[in-house]
Structure 1
Amino acid sequence: MLSLENTATPAATALDELVPSRYALKVGDIDVLVVSDGVLPLPTKMLGHNVEPSERAEWFEEMYLPQDAFDWALNVMVVRSGDRTILIDAGLGTDPDLQLPRAGQLIRRLGASGIDLTEITDVVITHMHMDHIGGLLVDGVKERLRPDLRIHIAASEVEFWKSPDFTRTNMPQGFPDALRATATRFWSEYGSFVHTFEDEHEVAPGVTVRRTGGHTPGHSVVRLASGGEALTFAGDAVFAVGFEQPNWHNGFEHDPEESARVRIALLRELAGTGEMLVATHLPFPSIGRVSADGDAFRWVPVFWDF
């Protein structure tokens, strides 16, 4: 069962897990657990391929980050609302021959958190990139899931992956083929579990998934709201550089200009409401708020609650 106790405390952590990999919080009456699936080492160009290398270098220098490649966090959420236990995205799974050995930790870390896969009633997929669906393809996982599991994906996302267009992306070699193959395998194995929605769908009390588009045509965000509190899981709509440089194009974006519009609108919305934000690739546990700073934004991480 998902404990209300903050499982960031490494009481039962193995010696090779000295860095916390899960963090619990409450959003009103909704229980939330942010789980790290590990990290993805990627070229720094991936965070802004539409700007001069000197501009990127300046940002990375100011952030004390390496200039050639750095580790993207990979965060997943487990949410309990009423009688529903919802997995929001599923991590990378096994390494698709792309030298990503430090990701794909989700299934093991769910077990270490005391979460049995049979508890999961719903899965929300923000989009069908391999680092969001691959955990469901790990050997032995499907057999442990409930036969009445519901997987929620925007209809336009499903349609896109029937014949995906990578012409406007800027990915390292091998990634388009791996993304395409993983999406195809996912649909083959889980198509009968998928329930699509057009623009917005309530998964459970206070848990709503909304299509934004941009990053992929069916990219979606998930908003939790209960007891006057709210949190948005933004998937890949927001990256670390996107607060100060919201118009920088990410290499995985299938429509970079629309992605920037979606990002700016979402950040303005969150800056206006003061609600919490979690995103897939913000530094773990990625929980924070957004403040507006002229035409840019500022990410304000929450103080950890022990």
Structure 2
Amino acid sequence: MTTQLKFPTEELVPSRYAVRVGDIDVLVISDGVLPLPTQTMSTNASPAARAAWSKEMFLGPDAFDWALNVLVVRSGEQVILVDAGLGGQFPGFPRAGQFPKRLEAAGIALSSVTDIVITHMHMDHIGGLLVDEVKRKLRPDVRIHVAAIEVDFWASPDFTYTDMPAPVPDVLKATAQQFMALYQDNLHTFDDEREVAPGVVAKLTGGHTPGHSVVYVTSGGERLTFAGDALFPVAFEHPEWHNGFEHDPEESVRVRVRLMNEAAASGELFVATHLPFPSVGRVVVEGDAFRWVAAFWDY
């Protein structure tokens, strides 16, 4: 008799990864993946160049799954959530919106979250906060930190320089405005930067959206940067390629090159929303481009 080996149907691979930065605990949690067109990640590239990169990366060529990562940071008595994933209210993305159950599986109660940093107000970063079970479990006085210019922008957003699929801008606008209406009393806006907790700083970069921000975690002479949507998987070989979701593509190029140069010079850990999970690694300068060096998993 042959015994068939059966794997579980859910959570077949790890969905969270822990890092310690000095005295600060950091947890990267996968919110799932978003199936999106390859072209969206390289709107100013030629079809031939895009196809060549996709082939080298064993991707596409027409679409592939973008990772979607969120961060949980524990500094002292504060528990900080950085972004909140997509949520479950958007059809067509059945494998995203996983962060609430994965946070619970990690033993972290939503009611313990004292602060939330929103890198920017695209739907895959705030949608999770619109889920009923999340709204019910968050503490009423949770502080939500977001750049003031980001809040102002989404009151009347400009999509002139983006290159998104037709339905997306309206959904982005509606989601951002729903988020602002729901959490207006919890918003703590900042102009340039905000120290959210000891060693945890949100810093305005602009580019991807006018108020796009990154988060620096610094302790004991070590640093980790959560770069949000400042860069995508293609950015290391082709930092000059534009992303269709960028509201200011030229500024986005300058921001990601600066951030990668900083990370390469310091040797710090680097994490981003759409780099493959667990998205923990380092950046190396290689000629006119960059190279991603994934961190060895440390158990």
TM-score bracket relative to the smaller structure: over 0.9
1:267-306 residue pairs with structure 2 within 5 A? 267-306=260-299
Question: Do the aligned partners of 1:95 and 1:101 also contact (CA within 8 Å) in 2?
Answer: no
Question: Do the aligned partners of 1:243 and 1:296 also contact (CA within 8 Å) in 2?
Answer: yes
Residue aligned with 1:90, SS:
coil
Name the % identity: 66
Deviations 1:72-96 (A, max 9, x none): 0000000000110000000000142
Decide which of 148, 166, 174 is 1:181's aligned counterpart. Answer: 174
Indicate yes or no: 2:147 matched with 1:154.
yes
Decide which of 69, 76, 86 is 1:82's aligned counterpart. Answer: 76
In the alignment, residue 72 of structure 1 is paired with which amino acid? W
Indicate yes or no: 2:216 matched with 1:223.
yes
TM-score, normalisation: structure 2: 0.96
Residue aligned with 1:34, SS:
strand
Q: Tell me which residue corresponds to 1:196.
A: 189
Residue aligned with 1:152, SS:
strand
Question: Do the aligned partners of 1:22 and 1:35 also contact (CA within 8 Å) in 2?
Answer: yes
Whole-Å Cα distance in 1 between the matches of residues 230 and 211 of structure 2?
12
Residue aligned with 1:214, SS:
coil
Whole-Å Cα distance in 2 between the matches of residues 199 and 284 of structure 1?
29
Deviations 1:30-87 (A, max 9, x none): 0011000000000000111101111000000011112010000000000000110000
Segments ≥4 residues shifted beyond 4 Å: none
Whole-Å Cα distance in 1 between the matches of residues 88 and 56 of structure 2?
34
Residue aligned with 1:140, SS:
helix
Indicate yes or no: 2:143 matched with 1:115.
no
Whole-Å Cα distance in 2 between the matches of residues 274 and 46 of structure 1?
30
Aligned alpha-carbon RMSD (Å): 1.0
Question: Do the aligned partners of 1:150 and 1:193 also contact (CA within 8 Å) in 2?
Answer: yes
In the alignment, residue 146 of structure 1 is paired with which amino acid? R
Whole-Å Cα distance in 2 between the matches of residues 151 and 139 of structure 1?
17
Q: Tell me which residue corresponds to 2:125.
A: 132
Whole-Å Cα distance in 1 between the matches of residues 26 and 52 of structure 2?
36
Whole-Å Cα distance in 2 between the matches of residues 192 and 174 of structure 1?
30
Q: Tell me which residue corresponds to 2:13.
A: 19
1:239-254 residue pairs with structure 2 within 5 A? 239-254=232-247
Q: Tell me which residue corresponds to 1:60.
A: 54
Q: Tell me which residue corresponds to 1:9.
A: none
Decide which of 143, 168, 176 is 2:161's aligned counterpart. Answer: 168
TM-score, normalisation: structure 1: 0.94
Whole-Å Cα distance in 2 between the matches of residues 261 and 88 of structure 1?
23
Decide which of 80, 88, 92 is 1:94's aligned counterpart. Answer: 88
Indicate yes or no: 2:66 matched with 1:72.
yes
Whole-Å Cα distance in 1 between the matches of residues 240 and 60 of structure 2?
22
Question: Do the aligned partners of 1:96 and 1:178 also contact (CA within 8 Å) in 2?
Answer: no
Whole-Å Cα distance in 2 between the matches of residues 236 and 79 of structure 1?
18
Question: Do the aligned partners of 1:95 and 1:103 also contact (CA within 8 Å) in 2?
Answer: no
Whole-Å Cα distance in 2 between the matches of residues 294 and 101 of structure 1?
40
Structure 2: unaligned runs, 5 residues or longer: 1-6
Question: Do the aligned partners of 1:271 and 1:289 also contact (CA within 8 Å) in 2?
Answer: yes
Q: Tell me which residue corresponds to 1:44.
A: 38
In the alignment, residue 187 of structure 1 is paired with which amino acid? M
Question: Do the aligned partners of 2:89 and 2:131 also contact (CA within 8 Å) in 1?
Answer: no
Structure 1: unaligned runs, 5 residues or longer: 1-12
Residue aligned with 2:185, SS:
helix
Residue aligned with 1:290, SS:
strand
Whole-Å Cα distance in 2 between the matches of residues 224 and 129 of structure 1?
23
How far apart are residue 245 of structure 1 and its match? Answer: 0.3
In the alignment, residue 55 of structure 2 is paired with which amino acid? E
